[in-house]
Every structure is written in structure tokens, then in C-alpha cells.
Structure 1
Amino acid sequence: MAIWSTYRIAGALDVDRLVDSVETLVATHDALRVRIVERPDGLLHQQVRDVPERKSLVAVQKVLSRSEEQFERYVRHVTASEKGRYWDPEAFPFRFRLLEYGPTVHALLTGFSHFAVDGIGSDILMRDLKRLYVASTARGTSAGQPRRSFVESAARQAVARARRSRGTAAVPAFPAVPPLTQFDLPTPPPQEGGVCSRQSIFSLSGDELGTLRRLVRLNGCTEFQWILAAFAATVFRFTRQDRLKVSVPVNLRTAADHDVAGMYVLSIPVLINRPGSQDGNPVFPKAVGAALLRTIATYQKADPERIEAAMATAGERWGARFLEDLSVNYTRSSFSSRSSAQLGWSEYAPQVDYAIRGAGLRVFSFPDALDFHAVLDSAVFSHDSVSDLVNSLRKNLTSATDGWGTASAHLTEGDVTPLRDATGAVVVSANLRKIERALLRHPSVRTAAVERKMADDGGTYLRAEVEVRDEMTEESVRDYLMTVGSGSSQTLAPRVIRVLHGALRGAAVTHPGCGKEELA
């Protein structure tokens, strides 16, 4: 994974001074010289290297094109190719590539690996690169200002996090985590050429942006919380589930590290409940903000790996592999305007296909604009459903919350059985007939029956009785169904599976929270 940007540089460019500026940038930001190495004990750690040779800093290429339009098409092609390349963790975590159409038209491609740099760090680096180049043009030198060390900063944060986690409460229980998002939509036709994603790009500025930011102030939340709440309210229209799991990147920089380029971002899953009649939409953004803050606090107090393992275990109790299939990535630019963020250069927009499960939203916030890039799974969303979702999102972003539609709408008909937690909230839905048919397709299965049962806590779960021909266990049945379910979200693995070996009746596997099972 990497952060790629492509900029069109209009006007005369001194290539040697640009390379000088890149060399100074790499020397002053140690994150650009980091590599991941494995110690003898098997643990990974970061190692800082010297600045690489000058000739390897920027790849310069003259492009012969009949027109500037043809040059731009070539730039988009190169950018898409770069995004698809594997990034070796042993390599330096940056790539600069300069394409020259003529003396006054260049395109600069920049790539920063997520091994070392996050989105905020990329913003810092590109801002510094412009400053260095402008300064070198004015003074003839390209001297960088001293920077705090990213590696030292990361080490201090790790020590502080370990100190906070000692003596704190254990990782909290996650009893009703949806393992995946079940979009209830008609199956779309396959995309031409095997394209994985459908995309939509739109912007809010002028009166629309003013309306959104006025609503943010009136509702007492942040801009990001408002966007996250609007996104969740939109997704609720396309699913029967009453709880969503939305991954958001959280910046763990301290105040002292605000200007340090590096990788400080951690993606965390936030659980968001559909607003009920007792709270309603007017307080929904605040409820979403509270859920976000609780999640951040949990990750600050305990080991993130233990939290993620506990959440995945809780999610898979509901019969499906744990997926991060909803995400909102929000970046607030430090530049004064959208045009300034592009360093005085206009930005190319290459068409890149993304492999995605579910739906993702990328948001860039500027003082004068909000840019949105929605990427959706083409195996789930048709062209019409993408338009419906994006139009609904845009309406929610710029309207009062009492007008938000969070009730499920346009859902397909089918034999769907909701599975609820102890509060009555729908966590997932299952198609019992699909599960039975999936079981019967297995060559070792003779008969299969699936039913919904009531748990001791008032929730519901699935129970299956399966007769098999050979030595097949409850766990192998569950693994088989979870593998099949990766291609069909309503084909879930029952929480209780009773395996019958021919005339012998086997024992049932019962998970905590289920009703009691009688052994035959």
C-alpha cells in the first residue's frame, strides 16, 4: 500500500534544483530512509539508512507526445501502473518520477509507502518539497530545517503505550460485532474487463459547503463526525443490519509530533448502531462521535493486536469471516485552499481500479472545498445502486438529521432470517435454504437441516444438524461454510453444529450465549 499523487507543473522547471530539493527532503525526514528489518529474535523493527545516491532519487523521463492531451493520457497510464507495482519493504519508502513533455510542462509522480508514511505525512512532505524548491530558486541553495526524528518519536510512543497498558482493565468483550456488511441489493451484472470497483467522485463547495459546516456547528460535532454519521445513515438504507462496523484511520501523533512525517495512523473499527425511536436522528452525529471516542480510548489503553483479535473472534461467532468492508478516510489539509494543496500545480486524476470488499469513502477537506471519492465493490453495487447511494449520501451531508433516511429501503425479497443480539438488534441475516443447499453440495454430507433458535439471553442463533459419510468434524463443517460464505454473505456458519456420523449421533458444539443442547 502506498500514497500516490500526480501533479502537473506548468511553467519553467529547474530539474537539477528539484533533485536537490528532493535530496534535502530525504535527508531531513528520516521516515524516508526507514526500512523494516527482522531481528534475530524474529521481531521486526525500523532501521534508518543514509541518503541514497543522487541519481536514484528522481527518475526523469522525456515523453514524446503529439499533444498535451496525449501526454496526460500517458501520465494517467504510468500512475495507474505505479499504483499496481509491488513495494519491496527493503526498498526506500519513496518514489519520485518526473515526466517531461516540454520545457514548460512536466508531471511529477510521488509515491510514499505505508511502511513509513501516512496521509498527513505525505501532506507534510509535499509542502516541504515546495518550500525547498522555492527557497533554492530564490537563494540558490536548498537547506532544510531540522526535523524531529520519526523513529525516535515512534519509540517514545511505544514506551508510553506500554506504560499505559500495564495495570489497565482487560480487553473489553465484544458480544455482538457484525463480521461483515450485508448489502441487500439485486446482484449487479459483471463489469466489463473484470473491473473490481465502481467509483464516484464529487465535491462540495460554495453554498453546499457552507450548509454542511453550519450543520456541523449546530449539531455540536466535528466535520469528520458529521461525515461519518452521514455515511452510516446512508449505508443503513441498504442493509437490514442494525449495527455497522466502519473502519476509520486515527492519527496518533502527539502535539509535539504534529509536523513529523511518518506512519502514525492506525485503522480502527467503530461500531455504530442504527438510531432508534428513543434517540432518533437529531442526536445521531453525537452518538457516532461518542462511539468513535470510546473506540479510540480503548485502543489507547490496551494492545491493539489483542483488541483486534477479540473483535474478530466476537464477529466470527455470527458465522462469517471478519472483514473490514466499510471505511471512511478523512484528511484535513493544512493548506489554505484546494489550489494551494496542489502546490501551485494542477492535479491529474488517473483512473485506477481498486480491489475492495464493500464500500469505502475518501474525503479531502480544504477551507474552500470538500472532495469525496467513493469506491464500491462492483460485485455488490450496480451502476444504479452506486448512484442511489451517492445521491443519498450527498443529501444527508447537506440536510438536517431529522430528514436523514436510516430505515432500510429498496431491499430485495427473499427467504431471509434475521439473527438478533440480546437487545433485539439485527446483527446479521441468514438464508437458511442457501445454507442447507451449500451443505448438501459437500460430497461428505448426506442430509442437512438448519433452524433458528432462541438463546438464553434472548438473542437468536443458528443451529444445524448434519449427517455425514466420513470423519467430518463440527469445525470442518464450520470452516467449509465460512469459506462458502465468503462469496455469499447470507450463507453463514451456524453457531451450533451437530454432526451425525451415519447411524451414530455425535455431540453438538455449543458456544457461550446459546441455549442448552441435549446430547443424544
Structure 2
Amino acid sequence: MPGQRIHHDDLMCSPELRTSLYASYRIDGELDVNGFIVALSQAVKSHEVLRIGVSQEPGRDPRQWLREEPGGGSLISCRNVQSASEEQFNRYARAVLAKDLSDSWDLGSQYPFRYRLLRYSPTVHAFLATFSHVALDGRGRSLVLQSLWQNLAGGERHTSPVSESSAAGFMDSALRHAEISLAGGARTSEFWLSRLRQKLPPVRFSADLLTEPASRECATERVLVQGERLERIRSLSRLKGCSEFQWVVAAFADTVFEVVPQDRVAIMIPVDTRLASEQNVSGMFTVPLPLFIERTESLDQSIRQARREILSVIARRNVSSTILDGIREALSSADSADAPGFSVTYVNGQWNQSEWHCGDVVAQEGAYRPRVSLHSTGMDLRAVSGDDSLELTLTLDVKISSPDAVCRVIAFLESRIDGSIPGR
């Protein structure tokens, strides 16, 4: 799959990169550990992508195959942790997860997951899961975890609906997508080639934002939108005839033009290429594709442009690895290596159920989140949408990470999310 190929090639070129997805759960109640391992084994059996291997010989394309089902220590590491307090146990669990995230992946000899079950007491356990991004995207991660908890809730003989529907497997989908990209290759290629012929101007940060970095860490700011403010934003977006995703992209695009003087930029978005019949198939279906955005003069123009661009790109999302390589090469050669880049990731929080009730136990996600430093070579926005919240995480390049610059950018983004564009 093209999305897999990107992550694989990036890791081959830069082995120091760490591209993993993770989840952490606190499990309260008397957990049947054997039953938990059976439920986990069922999930791995049902999701083919958790059993892929990837290798590459010199001068050849990477090859992907299916392994046998794992057992014993290959499936999960279980440990009884002796801690003086639960707080000490929590620190230990976060450290273990951080270590797993920092470790590299060798899919030629390893499964694309790391599972750990840590026991603090008979009624408190930590479950830690780490996945290779070569194997799973965000949707795939959610499907795998959903299978686990549904299997555990149903007992040893239960197989979740997600697991059953994904039994056809990722490998069949990969072949199907290769056929689709060949069938529509000429039209899709011409669409992207025509866009890339319109070269972008050299992009630079505005001089008044640049400062000498005080540290090598990027600035990360989080904004949580809730309550009446969120209701007002969603009502306004519906009134303007756009989705929340399109609203967020338009807001981010206007914010980008606050930090660069250029009038046209590329903003990368991850696009899920799953077909309607593959919504419950786990794997790495997501590809990064560019929106070409121009500076506008009004809120309505920004929204219309974002909507038009997103719909055009989604309609041509089934790209081959060759096309994707061409897009990446064209964008990287449009300017020097130190030019800033911009991206938006939008996550539907409904995919990620935060709490699971499985008989006598309750699993709560997010209890052992490690401290990780986010990296950006420009400006990146991650938006997680839930029923009653919209969480925005903005990461800025170290060159525009002074307190004054961060405050200015965040203030603009928040005002634009609220539906206004200062100064227009």
C-alpha cells in the first residue's frame, strides 16, 4: 500500500525516525489474565495486518508477507510490578511505554505490535500497546483495540463483529487497491501532474516571527473547545455549509498566512483510502496528500476554498506509490530543505471509545500517557473531535517558538476557529 511504502522508505533513509502509534489503559477490577490473553490472541488472529512481515533486498522493492499467529512471549509480555505506591507504578508504566515508543521496528523479524500487561494489584493492571505505523493508521489502531475489548466482554468463544468483517484481511485489500490505482491511473496522474506544474513560491516564515531558538524543542500548545463555545462553532459551520473538518482546515490555512508572507502554500492532510466495504478492515490505508491553498480576503472565501480543495483531493485519493513519490519529490524540490511545511490531522474521536466495560472490569484509556516531544519543521495542527469537545494541538517550528510568536499564532488560530478573522 502507498501509505506503508512512505513510512517504510522514510525509515530506510532515516533509521533514527520513530513512527509508532500507541494506547494505554488502566484496568480496574479482578482481571482474568488468561481470558485477556485469549481475547488478545483472537484480535491478532482476526486482523491480518498484525501478522505482516516486511523485508527488502538490495535493489528490489520491499516484500510483504503473512506470519504465523504468535504465541507466548511473542504475543504479550506480562509482569507483576512491585511498587511502593500506585503513583510509582504509574511512573513505571509511562516509562515502559516511552521506551517502547523510542525503540525501532524491524518488521523482517518482528511482529508490528508490542503488548504489555503490568500488574500493580489483583484489581489494578496497566495494558500498554504500541504499533508500527507501517502496519496501522489511526483507524486501524481503533479497530484492533475495539476487537480486543469486545472479545474480552464476550468471553472466550466470542468474536467481535469488527473481527469477523475484517477476516477477509488486509492483504486482499492491498491487491484490490493496486488494481484500482492501475485502472484509474491515467486520470489520477494527470490531475496531480497538472497541479504540480503550478509551482509554489519559495516559502519562508515572516521575519517578525523569527527568533534565535532558546532550545531545540518545538513549541506545543493545546486548546480545548467545549460547551457553548463549541455549540456556537458547530452551528456556524453548519450555517456556512461545511463540515467541522473543512472548518478546521480553513482556520488553519488562514493561520498559516499569518506566519508566511507568501500567497500560496501546500498543506498536507492524511486521507483514508478505504473503500466503503473496507471500513472495518485494519491496516495502513492512509496517504498524505497536499491541498494547494491561496490567501483569501474573507471567511466565506476561506471556507469555500477549503471545501473545494478537500473534495477534489479525496476524489483522487487512490494514488499509486509512483504518483505519491512524484508528489513528495515535487514538493520537496519546490524550495530548499529548510523551508517550512504545514499539515492538518483531523481525528474523529468517536472511533476511539475511551472506556470499556468488560464484565467485572473497566478499562479506561489514556491513564499512562508518556511525555513525548512533538517535532515540526513548520506548523502542524492535530484536531481530535468528540461529542462534547474539540481538542486542538498546535506544534510550531523552533524558529517561531518564542513566547510572543506562540501567543500571536495561538490567538489568531482561536479567533479563526471561533469564526472571525482579525484585521479583515
Give the structure-2-normalised TM-score: 0.84
Aligned ranges 1:233-252 → 2 under 5 Å: 233-252=254-273
Contact 1:179 1:312 in 2 (8 A): no
2:139–2:351 CA contact under 8 A, matched in 1 = no
Matches within 5 A, 1:177-196: 177-178=200-201, 180-184=203-207, 185-191=209-215, 194=216, 196=217
2:184 alignment partner, SS class: helix
Deviation at 1:39, TM superposition (A): 6.9
Q: Which residue in the other structure is 1:404 paired with?
A: 421
Offset of 1:398 from its aligned partner? 2.0
Distance in 2 separating the partners of 1:212 and 1:166 = 40
Residues 395 and 67 of structure 1: CA distance in aligned 2, closer, same or farther (over 3 Å)? farther
Partner of 2:95: 77
Residue number in structure 2 paired with 1:255 = 276
CA displacement 1:318-347 (0-9 Å, x = unmatched): x42386721111111335965569x84041
Structure 1 match to 2:6: none
| Distance in 1 between residues matched to 2:117 and 2:268, nearest whole Å | 34
CA-to-partner distance for each residue in 1:135-177, whole Å, 9 max, x for gaps?
11xxx53545422311101111110111111466632143232
- TM superposition shift of 1:232: 1.3
CA contact (8 A) 2:253 2:293 kept: yes
Residues of 1 paired with 2:333 and 2:324: CA distance? 14
Deviation, 1:110, is 0.9
- Residue 268 of structure 1 and its aligned partner are, at CA, apart by 0.9
Aligned to 1:325: 341
Aligned equivalents of 1:328, 1:168: Cα separation in 2: 23
Alignment of 1:353-368 (within 5 A): 353-368=373-388
Equivalent position amino acid for 2:197 in 1? F
The runs of 5 or more residues in structure 1 that have no matched partner are 408-520
**1:97–1:387 distance in 2 versus 1, CA, 3 Å:** farther
2: distance between equivalents of 1:99 and 1:267? Answer: 36
Give the secondary-structure state (helix, strand or coil) at the position aligned to 1:345. Answer: strand
1:200 CA displacement:
1.9
Alpha-carbon offset, residue 3 of structure 1: 0.7
- Equivalent position of 2:405 in the other structure: 385
Q: 1:375 to 1:249 in 2, by over 3 A?
A: same
For residues 284 and 167 of structure 1, the distance between their equivalents in structure 2, rounded to whole angstroms, comes to 28
Whether the 8 Å contact between 1:362 and 1:374 is mirrored in structure 2 is yes
**Shift in Å at residue 298 of structure 1?**
4.3
Distance 2:323 2:351 in 1: 37
Q: CA deviation at 1:310?
A: 5.5
Alpha-carbon distance between aligned partners in 1 of 2:47 and 2:79, rounded to the nearest angstrom: 26
Give 1:42-121 correspondences, 5 Å limit. 42-90=60-108, 91-121=110-140
State which of 197, 200, 220 in structure 2 corresponds to 1:174.
Answer: 197
1:90-112 superposed Cα distances (whole Å, 9 cap, x missing partner): 21111111222222222211111
Counterpart residue type for residue 117 of structure 1:
L
Match of 1:228 in 2: 249
Cα pair distance change 1:205/1:338, threshold 3 Å? farther
What is the alpha-carbon distance in structure 2 between the residues aligned to residue 206 and residue 228 of structure 1?
21
Residue among 172, 175, 188 paired with 1:155 = 175
Q: Cα distance, 1:255 vs. partner?
A: 0.4
Alignment of 1:34-49 (within 5 A): 34-38=52-56, 42-49=60-67
Instruction: Work out the CA distance in 1 between the residues paired with 2:352 and 2:252.
Output: 26
Q: Give the Cα separation in 1 of the matches to 2:321 and 2:104.
A: 27
Question: Is the contact between residue 199 and residue 374 of structure 1 (CA under 8 Å) also seen in structure 2?
Answer: yes
| Mapping for residues 205-220 of structure 1, pairs under 5 Å | 205-220=226-241
* CA–CA separation in structure 2 for the residues paired with 1:350 and 1:168: 41
Instruction: Please say if residues 316 and 322 of structure 1, whose CA atoms lie closer than 8 Å, have aligned partners that are also in contact.
Output: no
Q: Which of these two proteins has the greater Rg computed from alpha carbons?
A: 1
- Give 2:296's match in structure 1, choosing from 275, 287, 302: 275
What is the CA-CA distance between 1:293 and the residue it aligns to?
2.3
Structure 1 length as normaliser, TM-score? 0.69
Equivalent position amino acid for 1:175 in 2: Q
Which deviates the most, 243-252 or 306-315? Answer: 306-315
Distance 1:226 1:50, change over 3 A: same
Q: Which moved more, 1:181-190 or 1:147-156?
A: 181-190
**Paired residue for 1:462?**
none
Match of 1:9 in 2: 27
Structure 2: segments with no counterpart, 5+ residues: 1-18
Deviation at 1:30, TM superposition (A): 0.2
- For residues 440-468 of structure 1, the C-alpha deviation after alignment (integer angstroms, 9 at most, x for no partner) is xxxxxxxxxxxxxxxxxxxxxxxxxxxxx
Return the offset for 1:311. Answer: 6.3
Distance 1:43 1:107, change over 3 A: same
